[in-house]
A and B are shown apart, each in its own frame.
Chain A
Amino acid sequence: MNDWVYTEKVKDHFMRPRNVLSDDEDFQDDGRGMVGNVKCGDQMLFAIKVDPSTDTITDCRWKTYGCASAIASTSVLSEMVKGMPIAKAYKISPKEITQELGSLPEHKIHCSVLGDKALRAAIDDYYQRTGRSDKIIKDEAKIICQCMNVTDHEIEEAVLEGARTYLELQEHTKLGTVCGQCQGEATRLLEQYIQKHFS
């Protein structure tokens, strides 16, 4: 059949998702996190095993209630993080996951790539369990657009990439394309970041 909705790599991960947490398996995790909400159509669980001597992720499992790109993006993330120091894994962005996949349909990126957030929650849990709560980065990105899960960090990034108007910000992030309630706050942040970086 001709062109699938997603790239070959997405299709591959969708058809054969790697590292899915099985109910039968006794996966002894060192950290576990869950983000998202079934009501919104996407929920993600991520569980990690960590080698404490090197703070490196040795193994991981995940589960999701979500669409094809949620499944594929988390599957690919689960391959990316094995053998990765948690400090590095902590900083993985949706963009890096999307790049690893090749690409995703534009409108899918912000609502379905939740794996990075679930992974961070799992690492936070690991820090908590190992008595290193101080490592948890409290300065969590703040979600500005609830509908498309766009954070203030992503707005800043869009500004750094060249967004100067609200429309350009929407083109970069898809923010405000559903209910539009965040327009005021997003516009304010847009101006603030333009000020910060370019004046």
Chain B
Amino acid sequence: MAVTMKRRVYLDHNATTPLHPAVQKAITDSLGIFGNPSSFHAYGREARAKVEEARTEIADFIGATPDEVFFVGSGSEANNTVLSILPCDKQSCACKMKTAQRILTTRIEHPCILESAKCMKRRGSDVVFLDVDATGKVRMDQYEELLGQEGIGLVSIMMANNEIGTIQDIRTLARMAHEHGALFHTDAVQAVGKIPVDVRSLNVDFLTISAHKIYGPKGVGALYVKKSIPFCPLIVGGHQERGRRAGTENTLGIIGFGRAVEMRRIEMADEETRLLTLKNALRDHLAREIPNLRFNGHPAHCLPGTLNISIDGVEGEAVLLYLDLEGIAVSTGSACASGSLNPSHVLLATGLVAEQAHGSIRISLGRDNTHEDITYTVKTLKEVVRRVRQMSTAYTSGNPSHEVR
């Protein structure tokens, strides 16, 4: 089949990222390393050295010590692990959390937190969900009030939201949780490697990182657990990772993860300034070219590369697929793309009506994006929106649907 080569623009970096060339090289250079890091012989020691090198790199990057960082299979696993320590009832377990079984989290967390919270609820923990304001920030008055409830054992609040990019004031949130005697976890999967994160200054007890969001490989993540904080593993049956996560370490993944973090350490600051400039250009350009747009999320406290828009009168999946046909990759909060009937829980939590969530598009920029990409995207999106609005029952030019109906 003849395929015309079109410009291809990847604008879905919050979903996943391509491997950094340096990461590719680190992994391919290491393909011969097969020893089990737990083995005492030379093969094992070679692999162990690589794993520990990566651990140190990652620990340094977030201001932790290497023994506070352990490797897991994904950000989701790290998040599940943290939430599962609450209802632990093993007699011998170090976590000793039996008296404080209430979890406090937000309505805008990643499904891996929301679903494991619900799972904990079925196992007898109590789960309380915090609301957010129109920009996606936790409402401090409500937070203070809910922290005052009996038995809050754990607070879990994401640092930066994957859909709208809103960044929470984790330092304050963690301080308040500690004042009420609760442990504090933050899912920092979208934050680490994009904005500065220092576990000591934030003073969190647990923090989740994922490799593939920052140009590392899929299938590897890390969990920071502050020294002397109660912990019990989710995956048991081996002494790996100091008994905190059984299973032979994903050596190649960890090597790639370490190199990805190293590259972030070198490139992050400059790149994020560049991405913010690109995003602002994109935002201004879109606002000029396409009428009846709404920008979602916090205007200032937002990930540098994340832009979430609601486009009046269009359904997001149609826009996504028209853009895909033009080589542009974005994501949407529309229900049609999610396999359920409900549009984005994050956008609904910020107070958008269902049709604004159905008509939402998330653009997340990354290190390969250029000004030409932005120009091409605006031009293409403008044309796509024009076409989709033309066939829409919910849009008459100048009259967005939810005003006329």
Contacts and interface: CB of A to CB of B under 8 A. Distances in A.
**A in complex with B:** yes
A34 interface: yes
B392 A41 contact: no
A21 to B, nearest CB: 8
A44 B393 contact: yes
B391 interface: yes
A111 B341 contact: yes
Given A41-B336, A64-B392, A71 B318 contact: yes
A151 to B, nearest CB: 16
Contacts of A137: none
Interface stretch (B71-79, B123-131, B370-378, B394-402): B394-402
B341 A65 contact: no
Nearest to A118: B393
Contacts of B337: 67
Contacts of B396: 23
A1 B324 CA distance: 10
B355 A39 contact: yes
A191 B100 CA distance: 48
B402 to A, nearest CB: 8
Contact of A17 (B354, B391, B397, B402): B391
Given A38-B355, A41-B335, A41-B358, A23 B318 contact: no
Contact of B341 (A22, A41, A108): A41
B92 to A, nearest CB: 39
Interface in A87-113: 107-108, 111-112
Contact of B321 (A1, A14, A63): A14
B143 to A, nearest CB: 30
A67 B392 contact: no
Contacts of B3: 1
Contacts of B327: 1
Interface in A1-54: 1, 5, 11, 14-15, 17, 20-23, 34, 38-45
A180 B317 CA distance: 24
Contacts of A148: 341
A38 B401 contact: yes
B401 to A, nearest CB: 6
A147 interface: yes
Interface of A: 1, 5, 11, 14-15, 17, 20-23, 34, 38-45, 62-68, 70-71, 107-108, 111-112, 147-148, 178-179
6 contacts: A22-B390, A23-B397, A40-B335, A41-B335, A44-B393, A178-B341
Q: Top 9 A-B pairs ranked by shortest CB distance?
A: A67-B336, A67-B317, A65-B394, A39-B354, A20-B391, A38-B355, A68-B321, A41-B358, A43-B393
Given A38-B355, A111-B341, A148-B341, 10 more contacts: A14-B318, A14-B322, A34-B393, A40-B354, A41-B334, A63-B392, A63-B393, A67-B336, A107-B339, A147-B341
